[in-house]
Structure 1
Amino acid sequence: MKNLFRTNKQGHNKALWNYFVKSTPRRRQWYAARLGAKQGASLDARQRLAKELAASGGGYEIPLENGFAVFSPGTFAEVDDIVGTVREIIAAREAEVAPGNKDFLQQGYLDVAHLTDESPFLRFALREDVIAAIAGYLGVVPVLAKIDVWKSDNSPSQHHASQLYHCDWDDTAQLKIFIYASDVDIASGPLTLMEAEASDKLRSSIGYTYGRKGYRVNDEVANRVVGRDPQHEITGVAGTSVFADTSRCFHYGSRVQEGGQPRLVGFFQFVTPTSFLFPPGGYQQVAPYRGLARDDHSELVRMVLGAI
């Protein structure tokens, strides 16, 4: 293992990455710890600031045992603007897409040009209380990895891919935020989450490995191992915000029923600095929004954008 971090010019060893990342929880944790040791002072600074934010009390909490929290419309001032903008973006894109040429989940609707300082997406993502809640859960100031707009439609095919229970491989723990831009009921294919502690039990029971063939789990297995109580279909009116650790929590979504209303979502992803999305050389090389950081931004904002 002495050559563990010998990489190519881009700081990446694909075979090694697959061995550790698409693997068991224990092996993934070990690999992430080694990445953290390489980051040294940079990671220490993020952990210290996370503790300071937690001590100051941001008012919002994501319970570790659950791995998710749901916030009602009106909790965050920017959400109404996000809802309206998501609807406008999807309406404009729908006019460009031929009927019948759609999968059950359409992603990539958000143009990065929308992400100015005035953008409700960026204003929400950089709110100190939102960052404090995420940092309190993760134990470290996160890196913003993704902002997007999604639409889920009915599909005639059998449930597959992200419509089946799975855990995301991107990190050992992360927070994804789903802001409903439409009213979401059972027929709209809501995000469905299994509590983190129950997810631990399921992973252990079936010898789960992340990201490899067969890492999707059907409902029957989940029901048999953990029962229905720790499984939650997150319905809600437009403006509902769901903060979910999709690496620790089994989850699925987009099971839009025939005749059900499409599900419209504003999407955010926050990961740790040791996320498997980044090469061993560090997140500063590839953090997607690092170019938005300015000298007059606070240290916290620059950290979240991945500039420091």
Structure 2
Amino acid sequence: MKNLFRTNKQGHNKALWNYFVKGTPRRRQWYAARLGAKQGAPLDARQRLAKELAASNDSHEIPHRDGFAVLPPGTFPEVDDIVGTAREIIAARESEITPGNKDFLQQGYLDAAHLSDDSPFLRFALRDDVIAAIARYLGVVPVLAKIDVWKSDNAPSQHHASQLYHCDWDDTTQLKIFIYASDVDTASGPLTLMEAEASDKLRASIGYTYGRKGYRVSDEVADRVVGREPQHEVTGAAGTAVLADTSRCFHYGSRVQQGGQPRLVGFFQFVTPTSFLFPPEGYKQTAPYRGLARDDHSELVRMVLGAV
């Protein structure tokens, strides 16, 4: 009987996790709704504020049918500083970053302990128009879950892991923002996204489950089911910003070709309050940036940081 109550590192019962979170889209939606019901008034407040933002701000639209938007360099004033700082961080920390389980992608360059209000990364993440665009898309004021700097480089291994089409398990819908800190062409392994509606078709066709057998999908299967038209290789100059729902959109990246320039990225993750990253009781005790919230911050900023 004891094993029935085992929990995972996110604090969820393992049996429920394997059935719902790693299950079909319908099961995941049901479980997220149950988590939301436990949050009550705080979740209602986030949804109300998201509606107000949607009515008052019409910039930076993320089309729901696509699940992503690409914004050119110069859209946000902080981007130049993010590009320059990301390059400096990678150059300074290259030798001390421990290789992870992906030989083609190194993460963890940004030390979150050094984030402050004047950091271009935090200033960008807390911009009213950035938050408004994400809140309009998600239908709720998001929680900031991750800020980092990544480097993708050529690796001798065959394409595997996140180099293959997949959908992220950590929420039913979310927004990740990739700010290219280097010029990215086909040889640099650009982020490749499948439109959300085409992704729905692919999931239905193959009986997709999140994190189980078939979690990674080959190019051949994707091409056969949806064709090439809804698949988008996102190249662009340094400063290009890609806002993508990686739970709804199949995607892959980091296929850096031999001789191709490494891809440098400033990375941001915004999730809903019912994200599976958080324990069943909610985000308030574990939101990673809640300690940065101050009393003089607006209610919106405090929500995004996970303090309220």
Per the TM superposition, whether the score is higher than 0.5 is yes
Distance of aligned partners of 1:10 and 1:69 in 2 relative to their CA distance in 1, 3 Å threshold: closer
Q: Distance in 2 between matches of 1:46 and 1:96?
A: 40
Residue 67 of structure 1 corresponds to: 67
| CA gap 1:9/1:116 in 2 versus in 1, 3 angstroms | closer
- The verdict on how the C-alpha distance between 1:6 and 1:201 changes in structure 2, with shifts beyond 3 A counting, is same
Pair 1:43–1:204, CA change in 2 (3 A): same
CA distance in 2, matches of 1:279, 1:164: 29
Q: CA 1:64/1:9 → structure 2, altered by over 3 Å: closer, same or farther?
A: closer
Cα offset for 1:240?
0.1
The structure-2 alpha-carbon separation of the partners of 1:220 and 1:9, relative to structure 1 and needing over 3 Å to count, comes to closer
Match of 2:211? 211
List, as ranges, runs of 4+ consecutive aligned residues in structure 1 with deviation greater than 6 Å.
4-10
Partner of 2:276: 276
**Aligned CA distance change for structure 1 residues 158 and 57 (closer, same or farther; 3 Å):** same
CA–CA separation in structure 1 for the residues paired with 2:14 and 2:23: 14
TM-score, length-normalised on structure 1?
A: 0.95
Is 1:43–2:10 an aligned residue pair? no
Equivalent residue runs for 1:220-239 within 5 Å: 220-239=220-239
Contact 1:5 1:280 in 2 (8 A): no
TM-aligned CA deviation for residue 113 of structure 1: 2.9
Deviations 1:133-168 (A, max 9, x none): 000000000000000000000011100000000000
Number of equivalences: 304
Cα distance, 1:22 vs. partner?
0.4
**Number of the residue aligned with 1:181:** 181
In 1, the alpha carbon distance for the partners of 2:12 and 2:166 equals 26
Pair 1:89-2:89 in alignment = yes
- State how 1:24-173 maps to structure 2 within 5 Å: 24-96=24-96, 103-173=103-173
Distance 1:182 1:8, change over 3 A: closer
Q: 1:40 to 1:105 in 2, by over 3 A?
A: same
C-alpha displacement at 1:171, in angstroms?
A: 0.4
State the TM-score, normalizing by the size of structure 2: 0.95
> Residue 37 of structure 1 aligns to which amino acid in structure 2?
A
SS in 2 for 1:283: coil
1: CA distance, partners of 2:143 / 2:131: 10
Q: Distance in 1 between matches of 2:263 and 2:189?
A: 7
State how far apart, in whole Å, the 2-side matches of 1:211 and 1:60 are.
31
CA contact (8 A) 1:183 1:236 kept: yes
Gaps spanning 5+ residues in structure 2: where?
none
Give the Cα separation in 1 of the matches to 2:75 and 2:279: 36
SS at structure 2 position matched to 1:148: strand
